[in-house]
Structure 1
Amino acid sequence: MTVELISVGTEILMGNIVNTNAAFLSAQCVALGLSCYHQSVVGDNEGRMEEAMQTALSRSELVLISGGLGPTRDDLTKEVAAKVMEKKLVMDMRTRDRIQAYFDRIKRPDITENNWKQAVVPEGAIVLDNDNGTAPGLILEKEGKAMILLPGPPGELLPLFQKKVRPYLEQLQEEKMYSCMVKICSVGESRAETMVADLLEGQTNPTIAPYAKTGEVHFRITAREKTQEAAELLMEPVLKEMKRRFGSRIYTVREEETLEEVVVRLLEQGRLTITTVESCTGGLLSGQLVNVPGASKVLERGFVTYSNEAKIQMVGVSPVTLEEMGAVSQETAEEMAEGGRKAAGADVGISITGVAGPGGGTEEKPVGMVCMACSIRGEIRRETFYFSGDREKIRKSSVVQGLNLIREELLKYLEGQISGESA
């Protein structure tokens, strides 16, 4: 079944807001097994909106439209949709009562006349109650095709879709799409795709799709089946083969799990604490760890040692090391990690120091050169990376590789602990 998305709003066309609704709806449609071949954005103009809707209906069975259901004069989605679907507008008393109750609940007695505009619906439409706003969602059906109208604010659209629209769409599909995500670090996009080139060729069901992220590569494995159990059986051999090829470079196969969550989980598993010592990333790494609920159990503290003086005073880097090897060097990174770990009384220390650019690079130490070290109770691993891109990308890439360095060393440490206990 084909679906087309139309996002309504001049503010989207002008770039005033980011169209997150389209991204959400696209992902939901894929998960439901719907084929989406076209998306469009149209401003608050009656003629262009009508043209967009007619075009969408001519080539798709379902049309999902977001935005333009508000109470103001330029909110025209419902009116244009009724015209296209040849339905007259009528007052829906249940929606009117809900609007009244909404304003009573927020203690606003001054309901203006245009608020009642949202209680006017196309005749015969399926009205979807909006528990987070005053504009209901609407489903208009005609001759085997349907238009689904959703309010624009994400705080209203997302829950309304999940509670009301998704069940409606599920009834239309005999088969659904089920997927899992294989998330990989320490392998570039080109190499990762080459490693599974034979799996990508001639695939039908399940399928593998690569997605490049900053410092990571994700592969979505998707199967079309009637039940999740049947889909998982189809995906299992592919997932097993991916694990065989990428090994420990895979940090999770759970779509919702992030790299920083994996690191925090490993620290908790080993009952270890960590401290960060950052130069060019300026606290971004510790910030990523803090994003994880419960990080306070493992994150002891973070040092931002941007200047040489800070490296000396806060974490005890030797002035001789800085003078002879420079701030961007494996030797300095090692002393930062170990010095920070000891200063904080933590089990693990991670350090990052580099040239983020756009200036400051030399022939020996170009922009993008970043040195890192990870110390776990005195056992230290040093690495140097060469990243490309602008300052922001270099810093973000550094954080990803820093997290992965911690992950890899924690896996070795925990494996050693288990081996020691077994012995």
Structure 2
Amino acid sequence: MHALLITIGDEILLGNIVNSNAAFIGRELARHGIFIAENLTVGDKADAISHAIEQGMGRYEVVISTGGLGPTEDDITKNEIARYFGKSLTVHEPWLNRLRKRYEKANRTLGRRNRDQALIPEGAEVLENPNGTAPGLILEKGRRIFFALPGVPCEMKWLILNRVIPRLQDRASGSVIRHRMLLTTGIPESTVAKMLEPITRRNQEFSLAFLPSSIGVRLRLTVYHRPESEAVSILSDGEKCIRELVGHAMYGVDDETLSGIVGSALITQQKRIAVAESCTGGLIGHWLTETPGSSVYFDRAATTYSNQSKIDLLDVAPGTIEKYGAVSKETAQEMAAGIRKRSMADIGLSVTGIAGPTGGTPEKPIGLVYIGLSAADRETVDRFLFRGGRSEIKIRSAQAALDMVRKYLLLTSYDPNLP
């Protein structure tokens, strides 16, 4: 089953808000075999909304709109829906009574604009919206069905999950669309693509998309229009093949995070970690503590930005900084060892580098980062040269640091050059 999604609002076209509704709707519908074939974003203009509705109802079995159902002058979606279906707007008394009770309970006066939210196209089915004052609507024309939903995310999500999907499941063929996201880090997109050539050349079972970002390359596997059990089997086989090809560069699946995986490994091995950060400014500590219960394995983080703080808090020798500089293999190693000794943690992790946009030299350019790890059985420092702006270099550095810990904890033979 194919659908058109119409997202309505000048604020989206102007970039004032991100269209997160489209991502949520596409993902949830796909779970039930409904594919968003086209996504239109239009402003709060009558002709644009009318044209989008006409286009969708002429081409797709399902059309879903979000936005434009509120009480303000620019909320004109209902008018254009009524015009397309040849209906007049009439008061829906049950919804009007609901609005009255809601406002009375809040000791507020129900004004004209809010009363107008009880106006619906004649004959439309009203969908309960427990989170707001604008109802969802359903109208049908032949074999085609139109859903109008509020644009407020919490209202839209409830209606999609509790009203739209159950209604569409009655029409679905039993086939599904299933995704699986495989997460890699430490290798560029071109390298991943080269590794996966054996799959991309012969695979006919699933589609494979490469989604690069500052923390790595996500690989999205998609199976279209198969029975549930068959789709899951194809994705599992595809994941197995990809794991074999990309090796240790793959660290997780779907919503997993590198910090969460590191945390789980620390818990399993009953180890604690402490972090000394310079150029990342506390980002690693932030990521590690995003996981509930991280106090079990996370001891402390010291953001030692100045040279003196490295000396005072981490026992870095002044002579080391004078001779090699704050951004050096030697300083990174002493930072990692220092935080481990000061905290009595099992693992000390350090990061020092030049995030830019100033401070670089020909010998030590912007993006140069040293990451150190100190443990009872390991003292190591890796050198990196990251590209990008200041924020991107910080993110890449934090990701590389956590990946160093992951490999140390999970690989029996740790080689920093492993993909």
Query: What do the CA deviations read for 1:274-326 (whole angstroms, capped 9, x no partner)?
Result: 11111111001111112111112211111001111111111011111111111
Alignment-derived partner of residue 205 in structure 1: 205
SS in 1 for 2:232: helix
SS in 2 for 1:94: helix
Unpaired runs of 5+ residues, structure 1, are 416-423
Cα drift, residue 225 of structure 1: 5.1
Measured in 2, the distance between the counterparts of 1:215 and 1:43 equals 34
Query: What do the CA deviations read for 1:80-104 (whole angstroms, capped 9, x no partner)?
Result: 1121122332322332233233334
Alignment-derived partner of residue 386 in structure 1: 385
Query: What do the CA deviations read for 1:209-267 (whole angstroms, capped 9, x no partner)?
Result: 221121211112222355432222222322211121122222122x1211111111111
Alignment-derived partner of residue 311 in structure 1: 310
SS in 2 for 1:121: strand
Alignment-derived partner of residue 417 in structure 2: none
SS in 2 for 1:180: strand
Measured in 1, the distance between the counterparts of 2:340 and 2:211 equals 35
- Residues paired across the two proteins, number: 413
Query: What do the CA deviations read for 1:24-83 (whole angstroms, capped 9, x no partner)?
Result: 223334333333343222222212221222223333332221111111222111121121
Alignment-derived partner of residue 246 in structure 1: 246
Contact 1:270 1:414 in 2 (8 A): no
Alpha carbons of 1:100 and 1:227: their partners in 2 closer, same or farther (altered >3 Å)? farther
Alignment-derived partner of residue 322 in structure 2: 323
Contact 2:35 2:177 in 1 (8 A): no
Unpaired runs of 5+ residues, structure 2, are 415-419
Measured in 2, the distance between the counterparts of 1:197 and 1:127 equals 51
Alignment-derived partner of residue 286 in structure 1: 285
SS in 2 for 1:172: coil
Alignment-derived partner of residue 421 in structure 1: none
SS in 2 for 1:320: helix
Alignment-derived partner of residue 24 in structure 1: 24
Measured in 1, the distance between the counterparts of 2:326 and 2:392 equals 21
Cα drift, residue 170 of structure 1: 2.7
Alpha carbons of 1:217 and 1:289: their partners in 2 closer, same or farther (altered >3 Å)? same
Alpha carbons of 1:98 and 1:198: their partners in 2 closer, same or farther (altered >3 Å)? farther
Alpha carbons of 1:385 and 1:48: their partners in 2 closer, same or farther (altered >3 Å)? same
Question: Aligned partner of 1:62: which letter?
Answer: V
Alignment-derived partner of residue 78 in structure 1: 78
Alignment-derived partner of residue 11 in structure 1: 11
Contact 1:279 1:352 in 2 (8 A): yes
Measured in 1, the distance between the counterparts of 2:24 and 2:210 equals 19
Which range moved further: 112-121 or 272-281? 112-121
Measured in 2, the distance between the counterparts of 1:391 and 1:36 equals 37
4+ long deviations beyond 6 Å: none
Contact 2:176 2:227 in 1 (8 A): yes
Which range moved further: 312-321 or 37-46? 37-46
Measured in 2, the distance between the counterparts of 1:285 and 1:306 equals 14
Alpha carbons of 1:111 and 1:31: their partners in 2 closer, same or farther (altered >3 Å)? same
Contact 1:374 1:409 in 2 (8 A): no
Alpha carbons of 1:173 and 1:201: their partners in 2 closer, same or farther (altered >3 Å)? farther
Measured in 1, the distance between the counterparts of 2:142 and 2:401 equals 56
Alignment-derived partner of residue 270 in structure 1: 269
Alignment-derived partner of residue 159 in structure 1: 158
Measured in 1, the distance between the counterparts of 2:27 and 2:217 equals 18
Contact 1:286 1:302 in 2 (8 A): yes
RMSD: 2.0
Alignment-derived partner of residue 99 in structure 1: 99
Question: Aligned partner of 1:129: which letter?
Answer: E
Query: What do the CA deviations read for 1:315-364 (whole angstroms, capped 9, x no partner)?
Result: 01111111111111111111111101111221111111111111111112
Alpha carbons of 1:340 and 1:31: their partners in 2 closer, same or farther (altered >3 Å)? same
Instruction: Give the alignment's TM-score, normalised by structure 1.
Output: 0.92
SS in 1 for 2:357: coil
Measured in 2, the distance between the counterparts of 1:239 and 1:14 equals 39
SS in 2 for 1:201: helix
Percent of aligned pairs with the same residue? 36
Contact 2:71 2:114 in 1 (8 A): yes
Measured in 1, the distance between the counterparts of 2:54 and 2:70 equals 22
Which range moved further: 278-287 or 52-61? 52-61
**What does residue range 146-185 of structure 1 map to in structure 2 within 5 Å?**
146-174=145-173, 175-185=175-185
Measured in 2, the distance between the counterparts of 1:172 and 1:200 equals 34
Measured in 1, the distance between the counterparts of 2:295 and 2:265 equals 14
SS in 1 for 2:86: coil
Measured in 2, the distance between the counterparts of 1:31 and 1:198 equals 28
Measured in 2, the distance between the counterparts of 1:378 and 1:342 equals 14
Measured in 1, the distance between the counterparts of 2:197 and 2:82 equals 48
